[in-house]
Each structure stands twice: as C-alpha cells, then as structure tokens.
C-alpha cells in the first residue's frame, strides 16, 4: 500500500507528517506500518509538496542542537559537486532550447558511510502542462523529526543552485520507510507544544501514552541521570536555562544560513565535495 499526502510547503509537510504519526497509530498500522518499541514506522510514502520552502528563520540549533558542521557534513557526505554541476549544465541546456519536457537525474553520494545511503537520487523534471519544474526526491529511509526537514532543505538548496532562488519548485518525495522516534520527537515540543496538537479519541493510544511519558520525564529529569547520549541530547534541548536557552548552549543555526557553495572557479575533476572546493578556492586566492 502506498500512503499519499499533499502539502503546500516543505515545512508544512514536515509539521503535518510528524503530527499525523503522533495521532494516527492505528491508521499507520492499517497502512502496513508497525510499532516497534520507540519507533512508529510507515512504509511506501509519497508526498507531493507544492512549493519547496523552509522558513529561513527556522532554528535547527535551538530546536535540535544542530551546529554548522551538521549542514556541511550533509553536503560533503551526499552531494558530489561534479554531479551537481553536470546536472545544472544539462538543465540549462534544456532551458536555453526552451525544451517543454525533460527528466534529468543525479545520484546522491554516501562518501563517509555514516549516511547509511538514506538519500538515493534526485530528478529535475519539466512537464509540458506545468509552468515550473518538479524535483523528484528518492529516499531509502527517513527519520521524520530531526532529519526530514533538513533533507527537504537540502533539496530546496539544490534546486536554488540550479535555477536561482526565485524559481517556483515543487517536490515529489518517495520514501520506502518513514519512522518517528519517541525520544527524538519530544524536541518537536520546542517548535510547537505537543499537548496543543494531541488528538485523543476516548483515550490516548499506546504511542501517545509513551510519548507523553517520555516528554514529561525529559522535561523534569536531571540530565546526568540519562544513560543514553542520544536521549540526553533531547533532554538538553528541552530543558532551558534562566535565559530561555537550551542547556546544550545558545548556538543558532538558521535555515537561511544553510547554503551550497557557489561555483566560481573551474575545479579539478577530483574536487568533488564542498569542503574540497572551499580548500581549493582558499589556495587559489593565495596565489
């Protein structure tokens, strides 16, 4: 069974999918999904997003404790800049010829192995009956709270790298496996109070009960008593100091600051990551 959804923007897709998981355990199970301890899983998901857009003021640092290295790591692991420049060149040839219909693709890298091949491929399409391009984004698996919005921002930045920031872009997302993790989802409370979106029909589902128990614990416990480091990260984001900053530290990382390094030099063929290109540019400037 394929589960199909449609949303106005990338950010709305992230919000509504997370809220759907929170409130629809039984529906997810009916759709061939399952609950395994701290994970609620939905296979074979298709999402149509009418406009690729993440609020540039969304703070990944305040919400998830992400640092700038998280974004650069995502780029360096998954985006081969030679592939991306080739795709951009192919698209611009089509634009110059005013080709009414095309489909051009690039694979994602998995340079460091740490990405577990979650991002598979991206296709830029133009259709004769649409005035704007569509990006088809294929994922093997997606953790929907901490990673999905980050990956959708990456797709938006790739589209902007190719077309510029003013082009209207739609996204088709195909994912073989989406899942919500209880401990990670507690941090959604920073973006929007979970109690305000909790829908209870008679009594809470097992998933809702577990989530609210973990949320209460994480908000009130002594962080050092939490054994697992990944859980302690959630605690240190949820709990705040007297100034309202997360215990993990006040280090903003806004979506608007997460960009792709623009090509302004002719790079060697083996200069394939953003990190390598920045290093090459620094050396070129010194000469």
**Per-residue confidence (pLDDT) for residue 115, from 0 to 100:** 53
Interatomic CA distance for residues 163 and 153, integer angstroms: 15
For residue 97, what are the contacts with CB-CB under 8 A and spacing of at least 6?
none
Interatomic CA distance for residues 150 and 191, integer angstroms: 14
Interatomic CA distance for residues 13 and 9, integer angstroms: 6
- pLDDT, mean over the chain: 93
Q: Write the DSSP string, 35-98.
A: EETTEEEEEEEEEEEEE----TT-BHHHHH---HHHHHHHHHHH--HHHHHHHHHHHHHHHHHT
pLDDT 10s digits, 108-138: 988 765 557 899 999 999 998 889 999 999 9
Collapse the DSSP code of 130 into the 3-class scheme (helix H, G, I; strand E, B; otherwise coil) and give the result.
coil
**Per-residue confidence (pLDDT) for residue 275, from 0 to 100:** 78
Strand-pair partners of 48: 6, 172
pTM for this predicted structure:
0.92
Domains and CATH numbers, the chain: 3-261 (3.30.572)
CA triple 17-22-25, angle to 5 deg: 105
**Per-residue confidence (pLDDT) for residue 276, from 0 to 100:** 80
pLDDT 10s digits, 2-30: 999 999 999 999 999 999 999 999 999 99
């Amino acid at each position: 069974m394929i589960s199909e959804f449609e949303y106005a923007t990338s950010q709305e897709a992230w919000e509504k999918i997370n809220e759907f998981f929170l409130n629809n355990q039984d529906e997810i199970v009916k759709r061939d999904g399952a609950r395994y301890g701290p994970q609620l899983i939905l296979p074979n998901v298709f999402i149509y997003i009418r406009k690729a857009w993440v609020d540039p003021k969304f703070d990944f640092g305040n919400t998830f404790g992400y640092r700038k290295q998280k974004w650069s790591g995502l780029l360096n692991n998954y985006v081969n800049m030679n592939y991306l420049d080739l795709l951009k060149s192919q698209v611009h040839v089509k634009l110059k010829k005013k080709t009414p219909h095309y489909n051009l693709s690039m694979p994602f890298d998995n340079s460091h192995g740490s990405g577990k091949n979650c991002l598979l491929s991206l296709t830029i399409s133009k259709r004769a009956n649409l005035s704007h391009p569509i990006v088809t984004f294929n994922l093997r698996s997606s953790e929907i709270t901490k990673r999905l919005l980050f990956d959708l921002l990456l797709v938006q930045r790739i589209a902007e790298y190719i077309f510029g920031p003013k082009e209207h872009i739609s996204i088709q997302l195909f994912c073989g496996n989406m899942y919500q993790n209880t401990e990670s989802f507690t941090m959604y409370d920073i973006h929007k109070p979970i109690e305000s979106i909790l829908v209870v029909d008679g009594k809470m589902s097992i998933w809702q009960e577990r989530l609210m128990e973990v949320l209460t614990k994480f908000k009130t416990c002594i962080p050092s008593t939490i054994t697992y480091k990944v859980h302690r990260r959630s605690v240190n984001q949820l709990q705040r100091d007297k100034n309202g900053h997360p215990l993990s530290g006040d280090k903003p990382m806004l979506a608007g600051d997460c960009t792709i390094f623009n090509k302004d030099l002719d790079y060697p063929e083996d200069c394939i990551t953003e990190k390598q290109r920045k290093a090459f540019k620094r050396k070129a400037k010194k000469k």
